Amino acid sequence: MPADVKNAVAEPHQSLEGAVLQCNNERKRSDAIDKAFDYRGDITLELGSGETVIGYMSNRDASAKPPRIEIFIKGEDTPRVIPYADINSIAFSGEDTANGKSWHDWTNKKEDERKAEAERIKQELADQGHL
């Protein structure tokens, strides 16, 4: 198993729920946007204009001119495009739907489901007189 996958499995998920990241410079802004993109909940953006935007970040493009994000705002059908430079802070305001869930838990659940299915098939075959 590659080292990066092994480490990712071993480390528990640490939620950013409730955190607020200030975007004081381009590096902090870029890091905060990457974290918000990976977050599985709504975020709240404070923009340079003073506007507050709440929604789910669906995309980001650091190589665009200018770099930008796309965020789905509740009740709107299309994402809003916001340039990176307009973002002053990102608050992880929505529930983190991935919090408390891990790869290990998922694999255990799937293994239990496979065992139950195998037992069901075995019983079905036994009932038909094949075992």
Q: How far is CA 40 from CA 37, 92, 99, in A?
A: 8, 9, 9
Q: Report pLDDT digits (tens) over 46-90.
A: 999 999 999 999 999 999 999 999 999 988 999 999 999 999 999
Tell me the two tokens of residue 10.
Answer: 């071993």
CA nearest neighbour of 60 among 79, 40, 88 = 79
Instruction: Report d(CA 83, CA 71) in Å as an integer.
Output: 11
- φ/ψ of 71, rounded to 5, equals -135, 130
Neighbours of 95 (CB within 10 A): 12
Per-residue pLDDT, 57: 95
| Tokens at 19, concatenated | 């955190």
Average pLDDT, stretch 4-30? 72
Q: Per the structure block, which two tokens stand in for 56?
A: 């789910």
pLDDT in tens, 95-118: 877 666 666 676 777 888 899 999
What is the reported pLDDT for 103?
64
